Amino acid sequence: MQNFEGKTAVITGAASGIGLALAERAAAARMNVVLADIEEKALTEAVKRIEERQVRAIGVPANIMIETSVQNLAERAFAELGKVHLLCTNAGVASAGSAGKGVWELPDREWDWVMGVNFYGVLYGLRAFIPHMLEHGEDSHVVNTASLAGLMPGGGTYGVSKHAVLALTEGLQRDLNERGANIHASVLCPGFVNTNISDAERNRPEDLSGGEDVGQTRELMAAVMTDLLSRGKAPSEVADIVFDAIASDSFYILPHPAWDDFVRDRVEQVLARGPVATTDMEEMQRRRDAGEVF
Ligand SMILES: NC(=O)c1ccc[n+]([C@@H]2O[C@H](COP(=O)([O-])OP(=O)(O)OC[C@H]3O[C@@H](n4cnc5c(N)ncnc54)[C@H](O)[C@@H]3O)[C@@H](O)[C@H]2O)c1
């Protein structure tokens, strides 16, 4: 999709971080924007920011873990802005409850929350918007936000959810191609980006609460991650890369080329039929200290 002006973008997780930057970038391209988020106060602020750019913007409170909430988002978007041409399923969370635990020790609440937002939230988005895009038939694009964690070894609930988003998006593009659809897909796999994801626990639903255990890890994780993320790319830089990728129809969006080696090492380890692939942490830390992976 090269012509953005006057078209409509729907962005989940649009009240903060990468989602907000995507909304700003869409508005800069003269698109109308539907911003969806679970945090209503931040969403109201975000809508105001987008409206200042003299495009139409609406905010729809949504919990993307719940399919009816995503359907409601789609209905509001179609009713108020008509055809949707760009869908960015971007909202995501990282759990503080996974730290230091074996994958077999993680309770259902950990999987249900992280898979619920990061994987099912994307799937529900596709179910709600792809039939609409197929029906109107105009040039459209879907960007699913995964992570470099979807290309790197392991990673607990977060890594599993992001591998799932990567595979889902590859399947999506294949199925669209088979149908000759005028819809293109991309999967966004960033490294560190300076956002609020280190405090994703702020959005954990009460019924999936992690208890005290998570409360303590939350502070620790926030401290470590906030430092790393603060040195990461600016969300606006990532949003520019995403819009360039949409315009040039690139499927895999990897805004952090300094990580390419780690992805290559993993694939080579698989093809060598070797022992389990792991990230070379010493090399990672060396590069991190040298500021090379941000
Ligand atoms: N920041 C990074 O370093 C990084 C790296 C790789 C991938 N990502 C991915 O980027 C995406 C955006 O995250 P971010 O870094 O901008 O974090 P962020 O916390 O700044 O923004 C995430 C937004 O999603 C919203 N959200 C959370 N749960 C929701 C739900 N159930 N329904 C609707 N909205 C919900 C939050 O309220 C928030 O506004 C996520 O999918 C994340 O996994 C981030």
Residue 213: the pLDDT is 64
Ligand 1 pocket, CB under 6 A: 12-13, 15-19, 37-39, 62-65, 90-93, 117, 145, 147, 190, 192-193, 195-197, 200, 203, 229, 232
In this structure, which residue's CA is closest to atom 6 in ligand 1?
147
Tens digit of each residue's pLDDT (9 = 90 or more) over 132-146 = 999 999 999 999 999
Ligand 1 midpoint to CA 200 (Å): 7
Measured distance CA(227)–CA(222) in Å, rounded: 8
Ligand 1 midpoint to CA 180 (Å): 32
Tens digit of each residue's pLDDT (9 = 90 or more) over 31-56 = 999 999 999 999 999 999 999 999 99
Mean predicted lDDT score pLDDT of the chain? 94
Measured distance CA(70)–CA(127) in Å, rounded: 9
Residue 217 confidence (pLDDT) above 80: no
Residue 210: the pLDDT is 75
The arrangement of strands across the sheet holding 86-89 comes to: 57-61, 32-37, 8-12, 86-89, 140-145, 183-188, 252-253
Residue 239 confidence (pLDDT) above 90: yes
In this structure, which residue's CA is closest to atom 1 in ligand 1?
193
Q: Which of 11, 12, 18 to mutate to test ligand 1, by most ligand atoms within 8 A of the CB atom?
A: 18
Residue 281 confidence (pLDDT) above 70: yes
Task: With beta carbons less than 8 A apart as the criterion, state whether 78 and 132 touch.
Answer: yes
In this structure, which residue's CA is closest to atom 16 in ligand 1?
17
pTM (predicted TM-score): 0.97
- CATH number belonging to domain 8-255: 3.40.50.720
Average pLDDT over residues 85-91: 98
Beta strands 252-253 and 140-145 are: unpaired
124 flagged as catalytic: no
In this structure, which residue's CA is closest to atom 17 in ligand 1?
197
Domain regions of the chain by residue span? 8-255, 258-294
Residue 222: the pLDDT is 80
Q: What DSSP string runs through 132-153?
A: HHHHH-S-EEEEEE--GGGTSS
Percent of the residues in the chain that have a pLDDT greater than 70, as a whole number: 99
Tens digit of each residue's pLDDT (9 = 90 or more) over 171-212 = 999 999 999 999 999 999 999 999 999 999 999 999 999 776
Closest atom of ligand 1 to 228 CA is 3
